Structure 1
Amino acid sequence: MKETYNKFGTKFDEWFFESEMFHKGNKNELIEEGLSKGVFGKEENGAISALLEPELPNKVIVRGDGTSLYATNDLILTQVKFDEFNLDKAVWVVANEQDLYFKQLFKIFSKLGRKWANNCFHLSYGYVNLPDGKMKSREGTVVDADDLLKEVEELALEEITKRYPDLDEIEKNNRSRKIALSGIKFLLLKNDAKKDMIFNKKLALSFEGETGPYIQYTYARAKSILRKAQKELNINEENLSKANYSLLTHEKEKSLIMVLGKYSDSIKRSWEELSLHPLCHELLKVSEEFNSYYHEVPVLKAKNEEELLARLALVKATTLVLEKGLSLLDIEFIEEM
């Protein structure tokens, strides 16, 4: 599991293992507390249940044979996390099929009198489906994350080889890995987390449309303009601090500036909604506006140096927004594509 997470660039500060939980929390003490407070009750078969009716269905906490369930572990683990890390908020990122379970779990916390009960939140996300339907383990249609990355990486390598046949193998592989991860992550993140989605690996790698590689390509295009300005016109990015932005009067320039100005709002919305799709769509809008600007306004053919510096400063601002936005999405930007 850790190896898979590492491939996707995902890291965790702490790992909790089920086998360790009973050394940190006492199940018997928890059960006795629940029984004494009237929150738990004993069933005829010996099972212990949380009494939640009529608001919610009762929830079995311990089976009749004394073995634990997910709820037992979550009751103990959540207490451990709040005690050891002084959490402001605990968020469970789990599919929407568990909506009822988390309502029950949080209600148990509340009835047990946990002060932090209202600081627990279930981030319920939708299903990821394939173009031909839902993933089903019994039918062998479940996609393994490692296999998916390998397949998408191979597709990316094919595309890069077509576009840049003379590129050395090390760089081809490096770019294909970055583009593959970009395609997978962005396709998953651009949708509202609460809604179901369809994952199409070929569409994920498109250099056009609403994809991660499209944004990477836009970033590389903008960086190439800045490199060309330095190489051919001897204008370094440090010179852009002298830019006079009032010279940016073209409608395409105004449109791009307006979109760049909404970047902070998209981050705020992403945080408020606990979903990164607002940021994803902001980066797509920035990319669309920049490419439109690129095709209509010849940046390096400005009338004079002042106008040139202003245009280059706008290009630089675009790279900064795309760079920071991609970093927040844990997607690597590429200098050349």
Structure 2
Amino acid sequence: MALDDSVLLRTEGRAGYITLNRPRALNALTRPMVRTIDAALAQWEQDESVAVVVVSGAGERGLCAGGDIRAIHADTLAGGNTSFDFWRDEYRLNARIARYSKPYVALMDGIVMGGGVGVSAHGDVRVVTERSAVAMPETGIGFVPDVGGTHLLAQAPGELGTHLALTGTAVGAADALLCGLADHFIPSTRLAELTASLAGLDVAEAVRLCAQAAPEGELARHREWIDDCYAAGSVEEILDRLLDRGDPAAKEAAETILTRSPTSLKVTLAALRRARQLGVLEPVLDQEYRVSCAAFSSPDLVEGVRAQVIDKDRRPRWSPAELSEVTDADVARFFAPLGDGELRLSGSTG
């Protein structure tokens, strides 16, 4: 069934197992990988012998570091648009995972970022470990959270999701649980046991035998300033509130935000607020597709990937360089309808 060995598929007992298999690239997603996963899920949904699907990543470093942004960068430079096809297939996969009729167990061990969140955090049973680092870091590369990330972060308690979206901060197990990005903590040393037991046991029982209380996180004790500061109406006001708090953690968050793409920050805040109003996943994915296609032609995406991934000088030159230079019209352009090019998962283009 697999198009190549970048996704390994097997069944054992009552379980279907999907392993992302590009460990040297931190299992970054390509379009063939997305299509292979989608085809497997479609087949197993109709297979009565498969009662549960388990998704994991090869290697010791993580489930998935996201989409293959090197390929997106090359596509942008070449003046192509194959990235649009990748996003279309990827977001359809995210929607399939969210509405999948059988238990979908995601082992969110190690690095789980961007597209890695998309193939895990929409599932029914999301497992984190002491090694988990979960993030939507798109503002740091001149992009905007996608793969349903704005939906997930908009649903997080208070303004925790806004904090994570604007800063791109990676969170550990307890904070992933707090933010609604995960359901259970299981030590990494017991993942093999859980994986094997799902071939024969009911999902709830298999998880119960392995789950433990997560080590203490960071975000809970910062809820007061996070909820107050990020409730502001603009990125500029959020920064003002963060800097006025006199709290070292709030100041650190402000300093991080100031390194991100000004355009991405403003579009991300707008996308989150819109996602909160939309409520359900499919129209949010439709919105994210518009935003991603617009970001593709933005100079900040090329520059951000260059600075963070290609040249690794960590010194992106954003355009515009200041928040004050990003107008409401600039932001609105990212949400403009695409006409015949719409994703249309929600059945409408509004």
- Relative to the length of structure 2, the TM-score reads 0.23
Q: Which structure has greater helix proportion?
A: 1
RCO comparison, higher one (Cα < 8 Å, 6+): 2
Relative to the length of structure 1, the TM-score reads 0.23
